[in-house]
Structure 1
Amino acid sequence: MSGKPSPTVLQVVPELDTGGAEASAIEMVEAVTRTGGRCLVASQGGRLEETLARAGGELCPLPLATKNPVRMAANIAALRGLIRARGVDLVHARSRAPAWSALAAARLAGVPFVTTYHGAYNQKSRAKSFYNSVMARGDVVIANSRYTADLLMRRHGTQPEQVRVIYRGVDVERFAPDAVSPERVAALRAAWGVAPETRIVLQVARLTRWKGQDIVIAAAARVLKQADMGDVAVVLAGDAQGRHEYERQLRELIAANGLDGRIKLVGHVSDVPAACRAAEIVVVASREAEAFGRASAEAQAAEKPVIVAERGALPETLVPMRCSGDEGTGWLVAPDDPDALAACLENALRLPPETLARIGARGRAHVTARFTTQAMQSATLDVYDTLLGSRLAETFRDETSSNPLQPCEHVSKDTPAFT
């Protein structure tokens, strides 16, 4: 252990565009810098380079998105040289292809190696299992949910004492109701063509079949056709990212149900806090397992009740409603089941506004207690301290003492995990 009061940490990500791994890397740059340490990011760069600089980090450009074995071998040498030249004390990798180079470089340089298992990676062959296994080879492996922790231990035989569950962080201040002006909400409604008095059911997810937009449309068709349901619109916010055939199928499904104008495909929405504030209820209808469930956590941070599919880590993001009078923050429904979603959505829309408001307030309190960005930063610094003998987390908590933080959650054989 170095025991240095201000160690240097190297974050390794393939690119610096949008994504959970990139966002978390930059959040850790900000945390390390705040403690007086130094944080470098090895990446081929991208749209978040200015954000990285503002957080106090330094970009070290390398072609780390490559899966070419020759270039990956060259990246090992480049990363090893960077570690030695810049006095790097710890390497933290967040994506599979660059993690192989980072693992070899860290071992050759003799510095600790940390990984974050960010996704429920596809694993349908032995070759893919081996490729994924690099994310379970850290001295400490961070899982972004209990579901992910259980998955990686079953897949790769990782020992429980090697794993830490650290949930993805949510910027709760950005989603606070008083941080979103009525003008921002009104502007979004106008852009969507939704009247001020119309209640909105919202889904925020890129347009891909596994996110379940077609399930939401099928469920909404059952609900919106009821004469006594009132003025309700369903907004599906998300970029097709080139999946034009799927987008065409969704539009055809909407038209076939006679719901043009009531179910809206609005494309990418950059102001997600305003989108959540505009909504009455937020739906997360994923067909496949989510490794965390950021959309659910962000909606609750905006004081909105959620309806989420009971799959993957999504159940970990809310306190489930069991009956109308309990203290939950949203509802769990069977995945890939339009009838179940329709029944839940109908019941939720029939609740009085004051009941929905109470559910939303409980949701924000729940997220603030468990899923803040500062909690994620503090818990990750605890991992670094364990490996380095440093006191980064203590310094960070002193700096942010006005905000309560959730400690890192350790996995043990006696602690149940979602399967």
Structure 2
Amino acid sequence: MAATRPTILQIIPELDTGGAELSTVEIAQAIVEAGGRALVLSQGGRLAEDLARVGGELMLFPAATKNPVRIARNGYEIARIIKRENVDLIHARSRAPAWSALIAARRTGIPFVTTYHGAYGEKGRLKKLYNSVMARSDLIIANSHYTAGLVASRYRTPSEKLRVIHRGVEAARFDPAAVAPERVTELRKAWGIGPDVPVILQAARLTSWKGQDVVIEAVRRLADEERLGDAVIILAGDHQGRAAYRDALQAQIAAAGLTGRVRMVGHVSDMPAALATSLLAIVASVEPEAFGRTATEAQVMGCPVIATSIGAPPETVKGGPDVSPGQATGWLVPPGDVSALAQAIAEALGLSPDARREMGERARAHVIASFSLKAMKRLTLAVYDELLNKGMVDTWSETSRS
């Protein structure tokens, strides 16, 4: 095995927080499990320790640059790394480093894979050209059918170059039975709320398209109508440099008289505990989510979820007018529709304990069946095998069974 050990190089700007970053670590683990070597070029971040723990190797690299000259120079530097480290395939997960990876792949002749993680706005020809690198690879992984449709329509990408691989959820980690009560107690203490206070959670970085302002307005209406009960709303997520938006949200909370009822708590690393303590999770994005992992994580934790009906969430959440109450795993509402969101929150808060438990059981079973981490690993390794013929899936399958 050592003589044919495949070396896969992933490149991503940072290893901080987000679906693309977490996928990088998870696929690095799959590569190692398949007997390969998993290299990652990145500027580092919160997940660097996790990468090392699963056997991946971080090579610190200025992968976040958007300077055209530096991007080109990075391409030549990556080509040198490919030759020095005997890299078999390069996998890019973001646009700027994908341009560098494309240069390197063409110089060295190795296969090139991209994962299209975002919907990516395309205002103007330059932006469309910039985005197009994600469709210039040998094979393109789309993280949802919605994303695959975008790629096909924007770049006339033939279907034989596209592979839909949904984000996977680790069911063992996101398992209500695996969350110790002490973790919930510690998290509630950090948030400054008592053990019996109902929690509504929105976990998303603080950026306007995630719809925090819509959530605040919906909550204000419910509070004015005395339909919110004692619930506290937790907005979990970093502002990532968008201090003006954070300040605007704080002002909106104060103006609505919701100080103490809506709390901005920053990044939360223990998402299973956050979801375990929540009565409801909200995905309020006003622009399409390419996947939206919070929706699947909430469901697999048995936590009812409200998501907007654009982008990929309709692929992951069973809700809406065409789904009977006995089949629903959550609610889908139009983006930016304060009234619809407020009504869905009220319905969720009004569920009986039995109805909440039954919805949670359906939701967990749905995600385990359709959005597992094992499936994501297997399908991604299969993409590598298409280009390398190294039998990585077979080796990984034997390892995962042992």
- Normalising by the smaller structure, the TM-score range is over 0.9
Q: Where does residue 54 of structure 1 map in the other structure?
A: 53
Superposed, 1:16-31 pairs within 5 Å as: 16-31=15-30
In structure 2, what residue type is equivalent to 1:246?
Y
Q: Partner residue of 1:405?
A: none
Q: Does 1:84 align with 2:83?
A: yes
Code of the aligned partner of 2:327 = E
Contact 1:224-1:232 within 8 A present in 2 as well: no
What is the CA-CA distance between 1:288 and the residue it aligns to? 0.9
CA distance in 1, matches of 2:267, 2:42: 26
1:400 partner SS: helix
Q: Does 1:9 align with 2:8?
A: yes
Letter aligned with residue 233 of structure 2: V
Deviation, structure 1 residue 162: 0.5
CA distance in 1, matches of 2:106, 2:241: 40
Asked whether 1:63 is paired with 2:51, we answer no
Q: How far is 1:324 from its partner?
A: 6.4
Instruction: Please name the residue that 2:213 is paired with.
Output: 214
In 1, the alpha carbon distance for the partners of 2:312 and 2:34 equals 31
Which stretch shifts more, 114-123 or 243-252? Answer: 243-252
Greater mean alpha carbon deviation, residues 52-61 or residues 360-369: 52-61
Q: Distance in 1 between matches of 2:204 and 2:77?
A: 37
Matched, 1:339 2:339: yes
Distance 1:351 1:45 in 2: 43
Secondary structure of 2:168's match? coil
**Secondary structure of the residue that 2:118 maps to in structure 1?**
coil
1:382 counterpart = 2:382: yes
Deviation at 1:228, TM superposition (A): 6.1
**Counterpart Cα distance in 2 of 1:276 and 1:95:** 28
Q: CA deviation at 1:389?
A: 1.4
Q: 1:259 to 1:73 in 2, by over 3 A?
A: closer
Amino acid in the other structure paired with 2:304: P
Aligned residue for 2:401, secondary structure, equals coil
Relative to structure 1, is the Cα distance of residues 248 and 157 closer, same or farther in structure 2, using a 3 angstrom cutoff? Answer: same
Partner of 1:372: 372
Structure 2 counterpart of 1:411? none
Equivalent-residue separation in structure 2 for 1:242 and 1:74 (angstroms):
27
Encode CA deviations 1:331-356: one digit per residue, 9 max, x unaligned.
10011010011111112211201101
Residue 125 of structure 1: aligned partner: 124
TM-aligned CA distance change 1:108 to 1:306, over 3 Å? same
Question: Which residue does 1:299 correspond to in 2?
Answer: 298
Distance 1:286 1:370 in 2: 22
CA gap of 1:70–1:392, structure 2 versus 1, over 3 A, is: same
Partner residue, 1:408: none
Change (3 A) 1:245 1:40: closer
Q: What CA deviation, in whole Å up to 9, does each residue of 1:145-203 have, x standing for no partner?
A: 11111011111111111000011122222220111111221222233233322222111
Residue 355 of structure 1: aligned partner: 355
Matched, 1:237 2:236: yes
| 2:103 paired residue number | 104
Q: 8 Å contact 2:320–2:333 — kept in the other structure?
A: no
Q: Does the 8 Å contact 1:321/1:329 carry over to 2?
A: no
Whether the 8 Å contact between 2:72 and 2:103 is mirrored in structure 1 is no
- The residue matched to 1:64 in structure 2 has which SS? coil
Name the CA shift for 1:42/1:197 in 2 (closer, same or farther; >3 Å): closer
Aligned to 1:313: 312
Q: Which amino acid aligns with 2:57?
A: E
- Equivalent position of 1:394 in the other structure: 394
Secondary structure at the aligned position of 1:255 is classed as: helix
Q: Deviations over 1:200-230 (max 9, x none)?
A: 2111112222111111111112223344653
CA-CA distance at 1:64 after TM superposition: 2.4
Distance 1:132 1:299 in 2: 31
Partner in structure 2 of residue 416 of structure 1: none
For residues 269-302 of structure 1, the C-alpha deviation after alignment (integer angstroms, 9 at most, x for no partner) is 2221111111111111111111100111111121
Shift of 1:34: 1.0
Q: 1:265 to 1:75 in 2, by over 3 A?
A: closer
Question: How high is the sequence identity, in percent, across the aligned residues?
Answer: 54
Aligned residues: 399
User: Runs in 1 of length 4+ with deviation above 6 angstroms?
Assistant: none
CA 1:157–1:240 in 2, change beyond 3 Å: closer, same or farther? same
Cα 1:17–1:231 change in 2 (3 A) is: closer
The answer to whether the 8 Å contact 1:6/1:35 transfers is no
How much does 1:239 deviate? Answer: 2.2
The answer for the alignment partner of 1:158 in structure 2 is: 157
**Deviation (angstroms), 1:66:** 2.1
**Normalized against structure 2, the TM-score is what?**
0.93
Structure 1 equivalent of residue 179 of structure 2: 180
Q: Distance in 1 between matches of 2:349 and 2:320?
A: 14
Contact 1:114–1:139 (8 Å) recurs in 2: yes
Conserved 8 A contact 1:5-1:391: no
TM-fit CA distance, 1:247: 2.6
Does the residue aligned with 1:251 lie in a helix, a strand or coil? Answer: helix
TM-score by length of 1: 0.90
Q: Which runs of 5+ in 2 are unaligned?
A: none
Hey, what's the Cα distance between the residues in 2 that align with 1:44 and 1:202?
A: 30
**1:324 to 1:163, Cα distance in 2 relative to 1, 3 A:** closer
Q: Give 1:55 shift.
A: 1.9
| 1:56–1:126 distance in 2 versus 1, CA, 3 Å | same
Whether the 8 Å CA contact 1:113–1:139 is kept in 2: the answer is: yes
Contact 2:76–2:103 (Cα < 8 Å) also in 1: no
**Runs of 5+ consecutive residues of structure 1 not aligned to the other structure:** 403-419
Distance in 1 (CA, whole Å) between partners of 2:245 and 2:69 is 36
